A = this chain, B = another copy of it.
Amino acid sequence: MTKVAIIGASGYTGVELARILCNHPHITLTTVTSRQHEGSPLSRVFPNLHKKVDLICENLSAAELCSRADVFFTAVPHKTAMDIVPQLLAEKKKVVDLSADFRIRDVTVYEQWYQKHTSPQFLQEAVYGLPELYRDQIRSARLIANPGCYPTSIILGLAPLLKAGVIDPQSIIADSKSGTSGAGRSALVGSLYCEVADGFRAYKVADHRHTPEIEQEINLLGGCNVNISFTPHLLPISRGILSTIYARLDDGVGQDQVRDLYREMYDNEYFVRIMPTDAFPATQFVRGSNFCDIGFKIDPRTGRIIVMSALDNIVKGAAGQAVQNMNLLCGFPETAGLEGAPFFP
């Protein structure tokens, strides 16, 4: 059994990692850290884990951590990740980093949207952990930059069209809607039940930090150099992202050809499910699972294709994809620990 640790276990991504890992057949979760809850059983912080995870939250040095595990999930804010990850790598550990710190290959772009990068030497080495695009590189990597939740939904939705060159990348508009768990477990007025429930709004319009991450992968896939429109919204649900993506489709490209492109790319991808014709994805049908459901509609009146992509933001958009990456890193079956069907209702 491979020994695994979660650094930063007291957020919603942390608890979801623990939920998935506690039933994983090939690993043992040995360590969970939390500065805030140091000394408390994780199952007191998150009573859902009672009888499932029997670990105390610790606050450990990098050296102590390295004695505990071989694979690490860093579920800490960006900037904090930058500090801890190099220390783990120096001890030959494998790391799946769930922050944004190693996702952007161009340090200038990173620093423009985030802040000064103190470990830019790892930016080229880190593999962007989207297995559907980078499976082989992930297998042999030691540092995985686990993708953002919005980027996962948008990139998976567009990849077949971009690779085939059938849409105009310049025309891409991604209108995304996320559940509130994406805002984290910080005690902020804007995340209170009464502020979010029975309501809906956009935020960080034309200004969200996932934009350069989305653009990086779109430009790599499409062999282009474009800026796209990306608008995040806050949904009154706990889990789930739906991205509605618009692009101008090349003349003469029809329903069958597009369907074939999706099939070609995803028929062997277990975690991507293509919807039947004229059925559209819904967040409630991926809830709690690592699936990304994709549907599309061609609108001959406007010459646009509308792609819809749904996933659970803390599973395929975070913890589940991280475990999928660990499985590849460690040579486990890719679906290990991730076989649970979505729960509905």
Contact surface of A with B, Cβ cutoff 8 Å: 12, 15-16, 18-19, 22-23, 44, 46-53, 173, 175, 177, 180-181, 185, 187-189, 191-203, 205-207, 227-229, 231, 233, 235-240, 242, 244, 246, 270, 273, 275-276, 279-289, 291, 293, 297-299, 301-302, 304, 306, 308, 310, 339-345
Contacts and interface: CB of A to CB of B under 8 A. Distances in A.
Interface centre among A51, A203, A233 (most CB of B within 10 A): A233
A216 to B, nearest CB: 14
Given A48-B342, A273-B51, A194 B185 contact: yes
A233 B306 CA distance: 13
Given A23-B341, A180-B194, A187-B189, 18 more contacts: A44-B276, A48-B344, A50-B285, A173-B246, A180-B192, A187-B187, A187-B188, A191-B192, A192-B193, A197-B198, A198-B198, A198-B237, A198-B284, A201-B284, A202-B308, A229-B299, A229-B302, A239-B345
Given A195-B284, A195-B345, A242 B202 contact: yes
A298 B207 CA distance: 11
Contacts of A304: 173, 229
B244 A284 contact: no
Question: Among A15, A192, A284, which residue has the most Cβ atoms of chain B within 10 A?
Answer: A192
Contacts of A289: 48
A180, A181, A244: residue with the most chain B Cβ atoms closer than 10 Å: A244
A47 B279 contact: yes
Contacts of A205: 280, 297, 299, 306, 308
Contacts of A237: 197-200, 236
